Chains A and B, each alone.
Chain A
Amino acid sequence: MHAIDYEAPTTLAQAVSILKAHGENARPFCGGTDIIVQLRAGVRRTEHLVDVKKIKELQTLFFDAKQGLRLGAAVPCIEISESDVMRRYYPGLTEAAHLIGSLQIQNRASVGGNLCNGSPAADTTPALIALGARARVVGPNGEREVPVEAFVVSPGRTVLKPGELLVELLVPAPAPHSSDAYLRFIPRNEMDIAVVGVGASLTLDGDKVKAARIALGAVAATPILAAKAADAIIGKKLDDAALEAAGHAASDACSPIDDMRGTAEFRLHIAAVLTRRVLSIAAERAKKN
Chain B
Amino acid sequence: MAASTTTGDFKVIGTRPIRPDGVDKVTGRAKFGADYAFPGMLHGKVLRSPHAHAIIKSIKIDKALKLPGVKAIVTSKDLPQAENKLEQSGELTVNPRHLSMNILAHDKVLYDGHAIAAVAATSPHIAEEALRLIEVEYEVLPPVMTVDAAMRPGAPILLKDLRNNEEGDKPTNVAQHFQFKRGDVAAGFKAADYVIEREFNTAMVHQGYIEPHNAVGIYNSDGQATIYCSTQGAFDVRSLSAHVLGMPVGKIKVVPAEIGGGFGGKTTIYLEPLSVLLSKKTGAPVKLVMSRSEVLRASGPTPGSKIKVKMGATSDGKLVAAEIWMAYEAGAFPGSPVAAGALCIIAPYTVENFQIDAYDVVVNRPKTNAYRAPGTTQAAFASETVIDELAEKCGIDPIDFRINNGVKEGSPQIMGPPFKRIGFIQTCEAIKNSPHYKSKLTGKFRGRGVASGFWFNAGMQSSAMVNIHTDGTASVVTGSPDIGGSRASMAMIAAEVLGMPMTDVRPITADTDSIGHTDVTAGSRVTFATGMAVYEAAKDAVRQLIERAAKVWEKKPDEVEFRDGMLHAKGNGVPPMSIKQLAPRFPRTGGPITGRASVNPRGVGPGFATTVVDVEVDPDTGKVQVLRCTIAQDAGKAIHPSYVEGQMQGGTAQGIGWALNEEYFYDDKGTLRNSSFLDYRIPTCLDLPMIETIIVEEANPGHPLGVRGVGEVSIVPPVAAVANAIYRAVGVRMTQTPMSPPRLLKAILKHRGAAQHSAAAD
Q: Are A273 and B621 in contact (CB under 8 A)?
A: yes
Our pick among A41, A189, A190, A262 for the contact of B741 (Cβ within 8 Å) is A262
Q: Mark B237-279, 1 if CB is under 8 A from A, else 0.
A: 0000000000000000000000000000000000000000000
A15 interfacial contact with B, CB 8 Å: no
Q: Are B687 and A273 in contact (CB under 8 A)?
A: no
- Shortest A96–chain B CB gap in Å is 18
Our pick among B129, B741, B745, B749 for the contact of A2 (Cβ within 8 Å) is B129
B1 interfacial contact with A, CB 8 Å: no
Q: How far is the CA of A185 from the CA of B660 in the complex (A)?
A: 15
Query: Given that A2-B129, A187-B740, A269-B745 are known contacts, is A261 also in contact with B679, CB under 8 Å in the complex?
Result: yes
With a CB–CB cut-off of 8 A, which chain A residues contact B681?
A: 187-188, 192
Query: Given that A1-B128, A270-B621 are known contacts, is A187 also in contact with B741, CB under 8 Å in the complex?
Result: yes
B60 interfacial contact with A, CB 8 Å: no
Q: Which of A239-267 contact B (CB under 8 A)?
A: 259-263, 265-266
Query: Given that A2-B129, A260-B679, A261-B679 are known contacts, is A273 also in contact with B620, CB under 8 Å in the complex?
Result: yes
With a CB–CB cut-off of 8 A, which chain A residues contact B129?
A: 2
Q: How far is the CA of A192 from the CA of B745 in the complex (A)?
A: 19
Q: Are B741 and A192 in contact (CB under 8 A)?
A: no
Our pick among B621, B622, B673, B687 for the contact of A189 (Cβ within 8 Å) is B687
Q: How far is the CA of A266 from the CA of B618 in the complex (A)?
A: 14
Majority-rule SS of A interface residues = loop
Q: How many residues of B contact A (CB 8 A)?
A: 27
B661 interfacial contact with A, CB 8 Å: yes
With a CB–CB cut-off of 8 A, which chain B residues contact A195?
A: 741
Q: Are B686 and A188 in contact (CB under 8 A)?
A: yes
With a CB–CB cut-off of 8 A, which chain B residues contact A127?
A: none
Q: How far is the CA of A13 from the CA of B337 in the complex (A)?
A: 64
B125 interfacial contact with A, CB 8 Å: yes
- Shortest A131–chain B CB gap in Å is 25
Q: Are B678 and A191 in contact (CB under 8 A)?
A: yes
Q: Are A190 and B684 in contact (CB under 8 A)?
A: yes
A279 interfacial contact with B, CB 8 Å: no
Our pick among B625, B673, B740 for the contact of A259 (Cβ within 8 Å) is B673
Nearest B residue to A1, CB-CB = B125
A30 interfacial contact with B, CB 8 Å: no
Nearest A residue to B740, CB-CB = A187
Query: Given that A262-B742, A269-B745 are known contacts, is A189 also in contact with B679, CB under 8 Å in the complex?
Result: no
Nearest A residue to B618, CB-CB = A273
Nearest A residue to B672, CB-CB = A260
- Shortest B69–chain A CB gap in Å is 12
With a CB–CB cut-off of 8 A, which chain A residues contact B678?
A: 191-193
B623 interfacial contact with A, CB 8 Å: yes
- Shortest A197–chain B CB gap in Å is 13
Q: Are A187 and B661 in contact (CB under 8 A)?
A: yes
B50 interfacial contact with A, CB 8 Å: no
Q: Mark A188-232, 1 if CB is under 8 A from B, else 0.
A: 111111010000000000000000000000000000000000000
Q: Mark B668-687, 1 if CB is under 8 A from A, else 0.
A: 00000110001101011011
Q: Mark A37-55, 1 if CB is under 8 A from B, else 0.
A: 0000100000000000000
Q: Which of B604-654 contact A (CB under 8 A)?
A: 620-623, 625
Q: How far is the CA of A191 from the CA of B673 in the complex (A)?
A: 18
Q: Are A185 and B687 in contact (CB under 8 A)?
A: no
With a CB–CB cut-off of 8 A, which chain B residues contact A191?
A: 678, 684
Our pick among A41, A189, A259, A266 for the contact of B745 (Cβ within 8 Å) is A266
Q: How far is the CA of A213 from the CA of B395 in the complex (A)?
A: 53
Q: How far is the CA of A189 from the CA of B682 in the complex (A)?
A: 11
Q: How far is the CA of A263 from the CA of B741 in the complex (A)?
A: 10
- Shortest A286–chain B CB gap in Å is 23
Q: Are A266 and B686 in contact (CB under 8 A)?
A: no
Our pick among B125, B665, B687 for the contact of A260 (Cβ within 8 Å) is B665
Q: Are B125 and A2 in contact (CB under 8 A)?
A: yes
Q: How far is the CA of A2 from the CA of B622 in the complex (A)?
A: 43
Q: How far is the CA of A192 from the CA of B740 in the complex (A)?
A: 14
Q: How far is the CA of A195 from the CA of B623 in the complex (A)?
A: 12
Our pick among B125, B665, B686, B746 for the contact of A190 (Cβ within 8 Å) is B686
With a CB–CB cut-off of 8 A, which chain A residues contact B749?
A: 269
Q: Are A189 and B686 in contact (CB under 8 A)?
A: yes
With a CB–CB cut-off of 8 A, which chain B residues contact A3?
A: 125
With a CB–CB cut-off of 8 A, which chain B residues contact A187?
A: 623, 660-661, 681, 740-741
With a CB–CB cut-off of 8 A, which chain B residues contact A192?
A: 678, 681
Q: Mark A155-185, 1 if CB is under 8 A from B, else 0.
A: 0000000000000000000000000000001
Nearest A residue to B660, CB-CB = A187
Nearest B residue to A41, CB-CB = B293
With a CB–CB cut-off of 8 A, which chain A residues contact B660?
A: 187
Q: How far is the CA of A259 from the CA of B674 in the complex (A)?
A: 10
With a CB–CB cut-off of 8 A, which chain B residues contact A185?
A: 621, 623, 741
Nearest A residue to B661, CB-CB = A187
With a CB–CB cut-off of 8 A, which chain B residues contact A262?
A: 741-742
Nearest B residue to A259, CB-CB = B673
Q: How far is the CA of A212 from the CA of B742 in the complex (A)?
A: 29
Give 16 CB contacts A-B under 8 Å.
Answer: A2-B125, A2-B129, A3-B125, A187-B661, A187-B740, A188-B661, A188-B684, A188-B687, A191-B678, A192-B681, A193-B679, A260-B679, A265-B746, A266-B741, A266-B746, A273-B621
Nearest first, the 3 closest Cβ-Cβ pairs linking A and B are A189-B686, A266-B742, A260-B665
Other A-B pairs beyond A1-B125, A273-B620, 6, CB < 8 Å: A187-B740, A187-B741, A189-B625, A189-B686, A191-B678, A269-B745
